[in-house]
Amino acid sequence: MSVPNSPAFWNRLANREVPEGELIPERWELCQYPGVGPGAEILGDIGGRRVLELGCGDGSNLLALARQGAECVGVDFAGDQLNRAKQRPGAEDILWVERDAADFLIDQPDESWDFIVSIFGALEFSDPFRILPQVRRALKPDGALVFATADSHWLWQRDLVPELVDSELLWPTRTITGLAAWTAILHEQRMQVVWNRGVGPSEQISAHIIWAERGGRPPLSQVLDDIPRGRGETTVAPC
């Protein structure tokens, strides 16, 4: 069972007991399992590039990009998550904004971001018809939306956060799940999936990494036919 998205769940998550000796990830993690799948190398040289993360949480992923010289802004509507992010080494190099992701994007100038990223973040929990047009508008012509989304058959596994297993706090609802659904909605919003990869431990796909760009609408049948049925990646020819 799940509930509408709100800051309460994410603030509770931010205030959970942190295991002693917890390490701040050194890489950009795009999977629920650290070290699985590609990292920031898929973005190329990001020195001086403007990167916006939607639903930045505790900031660990964005800090990994800032260490590589990106100009980063992290947006999250959960203040306790941002407070945790601000305590991390290097946090002073990032602008942290406590705000709803779609509301923040509405105020952004046209074509102002090189990358908009979301790692199991706000993109998954927002109204796609409200947020995606703003993502497309705010991206530079050669920019990209790069995000990780949980596989629809994997979903959220509560054993990732053992202290919440018996909690009355219910997990929030994802608005879209599954690679095919994301491909279709991005296509409808005039964005094109040009690369994706299923990642996960062993032979299990737990997440999909999706790279989408501004563009026209290739035939939807072509886009859906190019979605892999198993692990791996696909490239969709630009129109």
Mean pLDDT across 203-218:
82
Reported pTM: 0.83
In a domain, 20, yes or no: no
Residue 64: per-residue pLDDT? 93
Q: Provide the residue type at 7 as one letter.
A: P
Residue 158 included in any domain: yes
Span of 26-35, 46-55, 229-238 with lowest mean pLDDT: 229-238
CA nearest to 198, candidates 71, 69, 77, 38: 38
Contact assessment for residue 153 and residue 125, using Cβ atoms and an 8 Å cutoff: no
Q: What pLDDT is attached to residue 228? A: 42
pLDDT at 109: 97
Q: Is the pLDDT of residue 164 over 80?
A: no
Q: What is the pLDDT of residue 176?
A: 82
Alpha-carbon distance of 15 to 17, in angstroms, equals 6
> Residue 136: which domain range?
2-14+26-37+47-235
Residue 25: pLDDT band with limits 50, 70, 90: low
Q: Are 83 and 15 in contact (CB under 8 A)?
A: no
Res. 237 pLDDT band, cuts 50 70 90: very low
pLDDT at 239 over 80: no
pLDDT band per the 50, 70, 90 thresholds, residue 17: low
The residues, any chain, with a CB within 8 Å of residue 2's CB and separated by 6 or more, are 170, 171, 172, 173, 174
Task: Return the CATH number at 88.
Answer: 3.40.50.150
125 within a domain of the structure (yes/no): yes
Q: Is residue 74 part of a domain?
A: yes
Work out the pLDDT band at 179, boundaries 50, 70, 90: confident
Given this model, what pLDDT does residue 172 score?
A: 76
DSSP string, 210-230: EEEEE-----HHHHHHTS-SS
d(CA 233, CA 225): 13
| Cβ pair 213, 186 in contact under 8 A | no
| Domain-embedded: residue 142 | yes
- Asked, for residue 174, whether it belongs to a domain, the answer is yes
* 164: amino acid identity, one letter: L
Q: Provide the percentage of residues in the chain whose pLDDT is more than 70.
A: 77
Please give the tally of structural domains in the chain.
1
Mean pLDDT of the chain: 81
Give the pLDDT band of residue 169 (cuts 50, 70, 90): low
| Span of 93-97, 193-197, 229-233 with lowest mean pLDDT | 229-233
Q: Is the pLDDT score of 90 beyond 80?
A: yes
pLDDT at 20: 47
Q: How confident is the model at residue 35 (pLDDT cuts 50, 70, 90)?
A: confident
